Every structure is written in C-alpha cells, then in structure tokens.
Amino acid sequence: MNDCIFCRIIKGEIPSKKVYEDEYTYAFEDLNPQAPVHVLVIPKKHIRGLKEAEAVDAEIVGRCHLAAALIAKQRGGEDGYRTVLNVGPGAGQSVFHMHVHLIGGRTLGWPPG
Ligand code: 5GP
Ligand code: ZN
C-alpha cells in the first residue's frame, strides 16, 4: 500500500523511532504520546483494521499483542499497562493500518474516554 503511512514507516520511507521488530511485526514510538510509554505495534502485512481482519490473520493479531507484552516487560511496565485497538472512525481510528497502542508509565483510568 503506497498511500498508507504505516506501510511507508515499515519500508523506512517515513522515519520512525523503532522499538522492536520481528518477522511479522514492527513497533515504534507514537508521534503524539498520550502517556510516558506510548508505542504502536503494527503488522508488516497491511490489514486495514481489526474489523477487516480475517481468520487467516488470527496469528498476526496475536503476535502484535505478544510483541506489545514483550515491550512492556522490557520497559518495566508490568505493574499495569493497556493495549488498545481503536476500531473505526467512531472509536478514534485515524490510520487505517491496524495498530495496537501500548500505553503505560502512568495510572490509567477506567473506563477509557
Ligand atoms: P489511531 O487514532 O488510528 O488509533 O492511532 C493512530 C496513531 O498514530 C496516533 O496515536 C498518532 O499519534 C500516530 N501517528 C500518526 N501518524 C504518525 C506518524 O507518522 N508517525 C508516528 N510515529 N505516529 C503517527
Ligand atoms: Zn499499511
């Protein structure tokens, strides 16, 4: 996807602060962090969002979450952190390449806004 900013970040065409990478996923610092830890974990495969994911994507959806858990552990955030998928514009999804937000490093209120 040439017009997808997250695909362009994976290709290195748009700079990002890489946090983690493996065969299936890429993780980088959010440009506009909402907490001391705010990392985006994305699949290398372009998937528009969770509601567009299919059964064949089950492993990659899980891998994104496991990558987030690994990063949280590396950052010492195991006391509490949150993984969030905003699904659709009504929930605040603004980039249509599926991404898991890893948010932590501060007290997180519930329910989220
Ligand atoms: P969404 O609103 O779709 O759930 O989340 C998109 C996230 O991507 C936002 O938190 C936003 O700050 C982040 N973002 C958008 N464009 C860029 C970019 O070019 N680089 C980085 N690092 N983050 C971005
Ligand atoms: Zn993409």
To which residue do tokens 């290195």 refer?
12
pLDDT band at 113 (very low <50, low <70, confident <90, very high): confident
Q: Which of 38, 46, 99, 101 is catalytic?
A: 99
Q: Is 65 a catalytic residue?
A: no
CB 68 within 8 A of CB 37: no
For residue range 37-87, list pLDDT tens digits in order. 999 999 999 999 999 999 999 999 999 999 999 999 999 888 899 999 999
Q: How far is the CA of 17 from the centre of ligand 1 (A)?
A: 12
Atom of ligand 1 nearest to the CA of 32: 12
**33: closest CA among 110, 103, 82?**
103
What distance in Å separates the CA atoms of residue 72 and residue 11, rounded to the nearest whole number? 24
pLDDT at 76: 84
pLDDT at 102: 98
pLDDT at 17: 98
Atom of ligand 1 nearest to the CA of 85: 4
